[in-house]
Amino acid sequence: MKTDHFIDVDASAEAAFRVCVEVERWPEIFPPCIDAVVLEETMRSQRVRLTARANDRIFTWESVRSIDRANCRVTFSQVRPAPLVKSMQGVWEFTPKGANGCRITLSHEFELHDDVSGRVEGVATSADAERFMRSTLHANSTRELEAIVTWLRRQAWRHEFSESVVMNASSRAIYDLLRDAENWPSLLPHCLAVDMRYEDPWNQEFTMTVKVDGNVEEIRSIRRLFGDSIEYFQPEPPPALTEHQGHWRLRDTGAGIEVTSSHAVVLNPSFFSAHCATEAKQIVERAINRNSLGTMQAILNKLGAHRE
């Protein structure tokens, strides 16, 4: 018994192939996948254990995978297949299509056990088992292919960047100004207001109103405080972004305290419909770094310090 599913994506075959090979990342990429463990691996093969949800049930199986990197092809065979099947094999194929795209094809071949009764609740006959397997493969294959496309599109609009300044001031004084967000409206020119919703010695949640390129935006942030660093993410980022997380790090260089502001963002393609991804990333980086550097300069001014 055989099934075939495919999808087209505006990404190279090599980029899509890498998603298939990086098994450890599957739980964050593929909705049905709960856990993925690489048990053995070489450049040409993998042995993996997968746990996934199928038809409101959870199944675990092991697969041996043969990896053809030159041709962007992965064949697999389940060593310990799902309960209803005697054997399960398949192949992932990534075929270039057009100037910059590819077609991803996922095929399965399976053989049912002669006696399937009692193996899965609600499955009593071979016909039941075939319907169950085809339904499962169709649902999961479709979701997996769509997930790869979503992931690749997300990566195309993902961007990371940072700015650093070395200050001749104490680490504690710098950290305190970064931590005390409620005082930012009087410290930072671009910060208009801060509404602290929750705070303890290690965590903060607040909403701040800021000026970005002449526009006023309200941004909600959740932060984790570590004493020499602050990590944060924005569960409700501004319209230009779908994700924004970052950190402040302080490091003693001997010549002063290096303050680094780092950002990892995923841009909203619909917001930048008039720009390509590269142009949009530059726009966002300039805007965010302008505020980060503004924060660092405000700290220097407050402490009467200077750059080293």
194 and 213 belong to one structural domain: yes
81 and 14 belong to one structural domain: yes
8 Å CB contact between 233 and 242: no
Structural domain includes residue 51: yes
168 and 97 belong to one structural domain: no
Claim: this prediction has a pTM higher than 0.75: no
**Per-residue burial over 239-270, b = 16 or more CB atoms within 10 Å of its CB, e = otherwise:** ebbbbbbbbbbbeeeeebbbbbbbbebbbbbe
92 and 145 belong to one structural domain: yes
Q: What is the residue whose two structure tokens read 């006696």?
A: 115
What is the CATH classification number for the domain harbouring 140? 3.30.530.20
Q: DSSP character for 24?
A: G
31 and 124 belong to one structural domain: yes
125 and 24 belong to one structural domain: yes
114 and 182 belong to one structural domain: no
Q: Place 32 in a pLDDT band, splitting at 50, 70 and 90.
A: confident
Structural domain includes residue 308: no
32 and 79 belong to one structural domain: yes
Domain boundary among 106, 137, 156: 156
Sign of CA dihedral 232, 235, 238, 240: positive
Q: What is the pLDDT of residues 239-267, one digit of tens each?
A: 999 999 999 999 999 999 999 999 999 99
Q: DSSP character for 226?
A: -
More confident site: 1 or 81: 1
30 and 96 belong to one structural domain: yes
Q: What is the pLDDT of residues 261-294, one digit of tens each?
A: 999 999 999 999 999 999 999 999 999 999 999 9
The domain tally of the chain equals: 2
105 and 173 belong to one structural domain: no
90 and 192 belong to one structural domain: no
8 Å CB contact between 30 and 151: no
Domain that holds residue 90: 2-156
What's the gap between Cα 113 and its chain centre?
38
